[in-house]
Amino acid sequence: MTAISVAALRAEAEDLTRGIADGEPLDALSAALVTLAVSASVTALGRAQIDAAIAECFNAGAAVAQVQEILALTSGLGVHTLMVSASSVLAAASARGLIDGEAPFDAVQKALWDRHVGTDPFWTGFSAELPGFLEAMLRLSPDIFTGFFEYCAIPWRSGTVRARVKELAALACDAAPSHRFRPGFRVHLHNAIALGIGRRAIMQALDIAAAAPEHRGTD
C-alpha cells in the first residue's frame, strides 16, 4: 500500500483547486477555529497547544458555543475507526459464517438507512471514497450505525460556526501530518470547493494542518 504523504495531499488539493478564484484569506476568527480543530484532534492532542488555540479563538471574538462546536466536530475523527474497519469486520465475519453479509436489509435496517443515508449527497460522496462502509456498519450493528450518525450530526445541527469554516477545519484535521486520512480529505475538499471557498483559504487551512504539533502524548 502506498504511503499517504502530506505533500501528496497538498498536491492533490493544488490540482483540484487549479482554476478556481484565489478568494479572500481566512479571517482571524476562522483561522483560529481551524487551528483549534487541528490542535485538539486526537492525532495531535496536547494540553499546551489546545490552551493556546482556545485563547486565540477568544481573542479573535469566538463565542463559547463556537469553540464547543469546533471541538465536537474535531472529536468526530474517532468515527474514522468505524469507517475503515466496518467492511473488514463484515468480510471476516462472513468468511467464518458468523453473519450473512449478503442478506437483504430487514425492515428495521431499511428504515434506519432511509432515515440517515437516503440520497444525502454528503454520504454519497463518502461512500464513493470508502465503498460499502455504511452498509457494513448497519449490518454489523444498528445501534452503532445510529450512534454514528447522531454524533456526527451534532456540530452541523448547532450551526454557530459557518459551514465553510467547519469544512476547512475538517479538511485540516484530515490532512494533518499525524492523520493523513485521504477519504475524508477528499470529501471535505470537494465540499469546500462546492461552497465557493477560494483557493487561498483552502491552502491556508492546509498550511495550518502542516504546522500541527507532533503528538507527544497527553498528561
Model confidence over 25-56: pLDDT tens digits? 999 999 999 999 999 999 898 899 999 999 99
> 132: Cβ–Cβ under 8 A, 6 or more apart, which residues?
86, 87, 90
DSSP state of 214: P
Domains with residue ranges and CATH for the chain: 6-78+159-210 (1.20.1290.10), 79-153 (no CATH)
d(CA 50, CA 56): 10
d(CA 136, CA 182): 20
pLDDT digits (tens, 9 = 90+) for 67-117: 999 999 999 999 999 999 999 999 999 999 999 999 999 999 999 999 999
**69 CB-contact burial (10 Å; exposed 0-12 / middle 13-18 / buried 19+):** buried
How confident is the model at residue 219, as a pLDDT? 79
Q: What distance, in Å, lies between the first and last C-alpha atoms of the chain?
A: 34
Q: Average pLDDT in the 52-69 region? A: 98
pLDDT digits (tens, 9 = 90+) for 124-145: 999 999 999 999 999 999 999 9
C-alpha cell at 53: 488555540
